Amino acid sequence: MSTIAPERGVPSPRILVTKPRRSDQFFRLVVTLGGLTSLLILGLILLFLAYRGIEVIRMEGFALITSSDWSVVEDESGNVVSQSYGLAAMLVGTILSASIAIAIGVPIAVLSALFLEFYAGKKIRGILVSLVDLMAAFPSILFGLWGFLIMMPSAEYWAKLLNKYFGWIPIFDVPAPVFTRSPFIAGVVLAIMIIPICTSISREVFSQTPLDRIQAAYALGATRLAMIRAVVIPFGRSGVVGGAMLGLGRAMGETVAVYTVLNIVYQVNWQMLFGAGGNIASLILLKIGEADREETNALMAAGLVLFVLTLVINSLANELVGRLGKTGR
Amino acid sequence: MTTVEMRQVETAKPGQPWRATPRERAFAIGNFIAAFLLAFVLVKFTGLNGKLGWVFGFFFSYIAISFVAEYARSGKPAAQDSLLTSVSRFAVFIAIVPIASILGTVISKGWRGLHWGLFTQDMSQATVNDPITNGGMLAAIVGTFVMVGLALILTLPISILTALYLTEIRGKFSGVIRFLVQAMSGVPSIVAGLFILSSIVYPVTQQYSGLMGALALSILMIPTVARTAEEVLLLIPNDLREAGLALGATQWRTVAMVVVPAVKSGLVTAIILGVARVIGETAPLLLVSGGGDATNFNPVSGPMGSIPYYVWKSFLLGGTEESSQRTWAGLLVLLIWVMFLFAIARYISSRTKKG
C-alpha cells in the first residue's frame, strides 16, 4: 500500500493572479468616470457661475452682500448711467422666510413623525405615510399657486391676529397695515412644503431606534412620553436636526412658490408680517427676462451666493443625518 | 366532593385589558364635549373666528382640558403623557390639512377646465383669455414629454454608474462621491437653470431650446435616481455577487448578468421617482427652454413649452375666468401625472417587498 500519488495525471496548479482582467479594468474605469460626473457637474456649476459673476463681484466687493440697493439707471438713449447690485435685502429675506418655515414646519413635522411612529395604528399609519410621501412629490408650482389663491387670505387673517396681540414685539410690528405677500406668508407656504420631507426623515430616524431600548424603557414603567424623552430623542436628535437643515436648504432655494406669494422690495425688512421682502431665487426669476448683459452677470453672482449658501447648509445637514446612531444612550 | 367543587369554579375568561372600559370612554367623550364648549367660548369672546379659528380653538381647549382632567385622575406623569398624545395628534392634523386642501381645490376647480381639445390643440392660435375650448395643452404635454424623456436618457447612465461605483467598486472616491451626490440633491432648481444659461445658452447656442431644458432637468434628476439606485443595489445580498465570481465570471459580467437584472424593478422605481421629481419643475424651464405655444417636437431648435410653463403663463398673463380655469386645469393634469407616477412607484416597491 503506497500512499504516494501517481506522478502522472496531477494537474499543475492554476496560476493565480490578483490583477483584474482587461475587461474588468475597462469596466472599473468606466464606472469610476461615471461616478465622478457629479464632481464634474458641481465643479462646472461653481466655475461658470463664478466666471460670469466675477466682474460684478469685483465691482461690488462686499457691497454685494451688505448693500440692499439693486438698480440700473439708464438715460434716454438706453445707456447705463449707474448701476448697483446689492443682495442684502434678498439675503435677509431668504433667511427670514426660511427661518419662519423652519420655526413653523419642524415642530409640526417632528410631532407628526412621533405620532406616525409611536401612536398611530397600523392602518391609519399606512394611509398617512402614503399621503405625506405623496405631498413630498408635489411640484413647487402647485404649492405656490395654491398658497397664493387659497391659503393667503387665511394666513393674512392669522398675521393680523398675531399683530393685534403681539404687535409690541418688534418682529411682529408693522410700519403700515399691509399684510398681503409678506415674508410670514412665504414662510407658511415654505413650511407646508418642507413638512413632508422633515416628517419622512424624522420618521425614518425614529424608526431606527433600537427596539430593545424602547422595550426596556416600557419595562421600567415609563409612559410613552418618558420613553420618547429618554430613548428616542437622544438617539435621533442629530438626525432630526439634519432633516430640519435639509428642509432649510430647500426653503432657501425655493423659487416659484416664493415668487407667487412674496412682494419683492429692495429694502432690508425684518418685520415679518409686513408685505415686503425678498428671496434670491425669486429675484433671479424676476429679473432674468429683462436684464442686460451686466445685470445678467450680477444675477449669476446672486446665483453663486445662493448655490454656496445651500451647499454649505446641505453638507452640514447630511453630515448630521449620517452621524445617527453614534450618539444616544 | 372535591370534583364537584372544582367544576363549579369558573374558568377565567380571556380578558382584553387594553380595551377602553365604558368609564374610560365616558371620560374621553366628556373631555371632548368640554373642549367643544370651551372652544365655543373662545370663539365667542376672543379674536378667533372663522373655520380656522374654530379648529384651533377646539384643539387648544382639548389639549388644556385633557391635561387638567388627566392630572386630576392619574397625576403628573400621565398628564404629561396625554399632553404629548394630543399635541402630536394636532400636529398630524395640521400636516394633513394642506394636502387635503390642495387635492380638493385642484380637483374641484380643475375638472371644469378639462375637455378633449386640451390634448389635441396647442396655444398657437389662442391666448390665455380666450374661451377654454379654444386651444389646449398639446404643446405643453409634448414639450414635457420630450424634455423629461431626454433628461432621462442623459441621467440614466450617469446615475446608474454612480450607484454602481458606490456599491460595486467601493473605490477610494466613495466617500467623496456619496457626499457630492447628496450635495447635488440640494442644488436649487433655479441654479441649475442659471448654470445651463451661463455655460451653454449664452456662449454657444444663443437660443432657447428643449435640449437646454432637458440638461437643466437632468442635473436635478441625477441625485434622486442615483441615490435610489444605490439603495436598491445595497439590498442585493452579497451571496449573489460571490456566486457569480465563484462561477468564474469577471466582475463586469457579474454586475451585468447577475446584479443589475436582480434589481431591475428597483431601478424602475428609481427612474419613476426621478421623473416625478422633475415633471413639475418650473423655474429652470422658464429660464432655458423658452416656452413656446406651438407644438414642437424638435428639442434642438426653437422654444419648447411644458406643462408648468402653461400653468405659469395662464396664471401670470391672465386675470379672467378663462385663464384661471386654464391654470387649474393645467395643475390638475400635472397633479394627475405626479399621482400616477407615485402610484406606480408604490406598486412596484410593494410588490418587490412581498416577493
Q: Are B128 and B322 in contact (CB under 8 A)?
A: yes
- Do B100 and B44 belong to one domain? yes
Q: If 0-12 CB within 10 Å is exposed, 13-18 middle and 19+ buried, where does residue A201 land?
A: buried
CB contact under 8 A, B334 and A30: no
In a domain, residue B4? The reply is no
Whether residues B92 and B164 share a domain: the answer is no
Q: Same structural domain for residues B172 and B74? A: no
- Determine whether the interchain pair B280/A139 forms a contact, defined as Cβ–Cβ distance below 8 Å: yes
A171 part of contact set with chain B, CB < 8 Å:
no
In this structure, which amino acid lies at residue A176?
Answer: A
* DSSP three-state, residue A71: strand
> CB of A45 within 8 Å of any CB in chain B?
yes
- Cβ atoms within 10 Å of A70's Cβ, excluding its own: 22
Q: Which of residues 181-210 of A touch B (CB under 8 A)?
A: 192, 195-196, 199
The answer to the question of residue A70 being in a domain is no
Chain A residues with beta carbon closer than 8 angstroms to that of B165: 31-32, 34-35
Q: Which domain holds residue B66?
A: 21-111
pLDDT tier for residue A6 given thresholds of 50, 70 and 90 = low
CB within 8 Å: B164 and A31:
yes
Residue A267 counted as domain residue = yes
d(CA A154, CA B49): 11
What are the Cα distances from residue B319, in Å, to B129, B293, B316, B326? 8, 19, 8, 11
* Residues of chain B with C-beta less than 8 angstroms from the C-beta of A132: 95, 99
Domain hosting residue A259, numbered range: 91-281+311-322
Instruction: State whether B25 and B152 are in the same domain.
Output: no
B131 belongs to a structural domain = no
Structure confidence at residue A107 (pLDDT):
95
State the ipTM, two decimals.
Answer: 0.87
How many helices and strands (H and E) does chain B possess?
15, 0
Q: Is A101 on the interface with B (CB under 8 A)?
A: no
**In a domain? residue A157:** yes
Beta bridge partners of A72: A83
In this complex, the residue of B85, B162, B346 whose CB is nearest that of residue A119 is B85
Instruction: Let me know the angle formed at the C-alpha of B251 by B245 and B253, rounded to the nearest 5 degrees.
Output: 90
Residue in B176, B194, B202 closest to A284 by CB: B194
* Per-residue model confidence (pLDDT) at position B146: 93
**Structural domain count of chain B:** 2
Q: What residues 210-229 of chain A have any CB closer than 8 A to a CB of chain B?
A: 223-226, 228
Please enumerate in sequence order all residues whose Cβ is within 8 A of that of B309, keeping only pairs 6 or more positions apart, or say none: B140, B143, B282, B285, B286, B289, B291
3-state SS, one letter per residue, for A242-288: HHHHHHHHHHHHCCHHHHHHCCECCCCCCCCCCCCECCHHHHHHHHC
Tell me, yes or no, whether B99 and B154 share the same domain.
Answer: no
* A273 vs A257: CA distance, rounded Å: 18
Q: Please say if the pLDDT value at position A2 is more than 60.
A: no
Contact B280 A142 (CB under 8 A): yes
Test the A interface: residue of B191, B228, B306, B314 with most A CBs within 10 Å:
B191
According to the model, what pLDDT value does residue B4 have? 53
Q: Which residue of B has its CA nearest to A189?
A: B98
Q: Is A44 on the interface with B (CB under 8 A)?
A: yes
Rounded CA separation B81/B227 (Å): 38
Of B169, B181, B186, the CB nearest to A38: B181
Q: Is A137:B338 a contact under the CB 8 Å cutoff? A: yes
- Residue B143 distance to chain A (closest CA, Å): 17
Q: What is the dihedral of CA B162, B168, B172, B175, to 10 degrees?
A: 60
Residue A129 reports pLDDT greater than 80: yes
> In this predicted structure, what is the pLDDT of residue B3?
54
- Same domain? For B101 and B248 the reply is no
Confidence of residue A267 (pLDDT cuts 50, 70, 90): confident
Among candidates B80, B276, B283 on the partner chain, residue whose Cβ is nearest the Cβ of A225: B80
Q: Is B106 in contact with B304 (CB distance < 8 Å)? A: no
Last residue of a domain, one of B58, B76, B111: B111
The CATH number of the domain holding residue A226 is: 1.10.3720.10
Contact A282, A251 (CB under 8 A): no
In a domain, A119, yes or no: yes
pLDDT, tens digit (0-9, with 9 covering 90-100), for A151-201: 888 888 888 888 888 888 888 888 888 888 889 999 999 999 999 999 998
| Whether residue B222 is found in the same domain as residue B89 | no
Q: Domain check: are B200 and B99 in the same one? A: no
SS (H, E, C) B164-179: HHHHHHCCCCHHHHHH
Query: Residues, chain B, total?
Result: 355
At position A81, the amino acid (one-letter code) is V
Q: Let me know if residue B300 belongs to a domain.
A: yes
Residue B48: the pLDDT is 65
Instruction: Show which of B96, B111, B126 is a domain's final residue.
Output: B111
Test mutation, A17, A22, A30, A37, chain B, max B CBs within 10 A: A37
- Inter-CA distances, B152 with A132, B182, B339, Å: 26, 19, 19
Residue B96 resides in a domain: yes
Predicted confidence (pLDDT) at residue A30 exceeds the cutoff of 90: yes
B128 within a domain of the structure (yes/no): no
User: What pLDDT was estimated at residue A39?
Assistant: 92
Are A21 and B339 inside 8 Å of each other by CB? no
Per the structure, the count of domains in chain A is: 1
A13 assigned to some structural domain: no
Spatial contact of B242 and B309, defined as CB atoms under 8 Å apart: no
Provide mean pLDDT across the span A293-301: 89
Nearest CA in chain B to A279: B190
Which grid coordinates belong to A144? 405656490
Which of B47, B194, B281 shows the shortest C-beta gap to A164? B47
**The residue to which cell 496531477 is assigned:** A10
Which of the 8 DSSP states describes residue A277?
B
Cβ–Cβ contact A129 with B under 8 A: no
**B103 shares its domain with B161:** no
Same domain, B206 and B271: yes
Residue B264 maps to a domain: yes
Does residue B12 sit within a domain?
no
In 3-state terms, what secondary structure has residue A264?
strand
In contact, A35 and B162? CB cutoff 8 Å: yes
Number of helices (H), then strands (E), in chain A: 14, 2
Do B42 and B148 fall within a single domain?
Answer: no
> pLDDT by residue (tens digit) across B52-87?
778 888 888 888 888 998 899 888 988 999 899 999
Q: What residues of A are in contact with residue B250 (Cβ under 8 Å)? A: 20-21, 23-24, 27
**In this structure, is residue B317 part of a structural domain?**
yes
For B85-133, the pLDDT digits (tens) are 999 999 999 999 999 999 999 999 998 888 888 888 888 878 877 887 7
In chain B, what's the furthest Cα-to-Cα distance?
107
pLDDT top residue among A91 and B57: A91
Select the residue of B47, B194, B331 nearest A142 (Cβ to Cβ): B331
* Rg value, chain B, Cα: 29
Tell which wins on pLDDT, A323 or B90. B90
Residues B220 and B277 sit within 8 Å (Cβ to Cβ)? yes
pLDDT category of residue A4 using cuts at 50, 70 and 90: low
Spans of chain B below 50 pLDDT: 1, 355
> First vs last Cα of chain B: how many Å apart?
60
Is the pLDDT score of A52 beyond 80? yes
